């Protein structure tokens, strides 16, 4: 189970001061965080027709996006690309627990859990 460390920030204060108003950076918000899924598992989800995914990359200074399913990641090289997978909470039960600390926000306000993996660059 993941526990989000808001420090002295209460859920009520978060909703009043930050939610949909201004950004908030919580450095090391999840103490002792371990990834619930590997990069290979994320890539595996991106192979599936039913799963919404995309790769964003910068090639020669030009940004490009390709939507999934994505079957060959080797063609993107070793750097300068990111994979984004939508609704991971629907496909991976352990990753879904990352949403638990945010359950003070009404469910209708939470769309899904998007997970990304980026290469250097």
- Express each pLDDT in 23-52 by its tens digit: 999 888 888 889 999 999 999 999 999 999
- Residue 84's SS3 state is strand
pTM of the entire predicted model? 0.85
Mean pLDDT across the stretch 6-20?
89
Enumerate domains of the chain plus CATH numbers. 1-34 (no CATH), 36-118 (2.60.120.650)
- Using the predicted structure, report yes or no on whether residue 104 has a pLDDT greater than 80: yes
Reported confidence tier of residue 9, pLDDT bands at 50, 70, 90: confident
75 CA to centre of own chain: 23
**Cα–Cα dist 16/33, whole Å:** 27
Quick one: pLDDT at residue 2?
83
Reported as type and span, the H/E element at residue 59 is strand 53-59
């Amino acid at each position: 189970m993941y526990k989000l460390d808001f420090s002295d920030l209460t859920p009520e204060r978060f909703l009043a001061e930050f939610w949909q108003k201004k950004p908030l950076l919580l450095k090391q918000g999840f103490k002792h965080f371990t990834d619930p899924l590997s990069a290979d598992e994320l890539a595996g989800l991106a192979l599936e027709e039913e799963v919404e995914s995309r790769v964003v990359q910068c090639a020669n200074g030009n940004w490009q996006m390709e939507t999934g399913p994505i079957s060959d990641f080797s063609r993107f090289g070793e750097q300068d690309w990111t994979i984004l997978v939508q609704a991971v909470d629907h496909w991976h039960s352990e990753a879904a627990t990352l949403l638990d600390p945010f359950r003070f926000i009404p469910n209708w306000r939470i769309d899904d859990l998007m997970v990304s993996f980026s290469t250097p660059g």
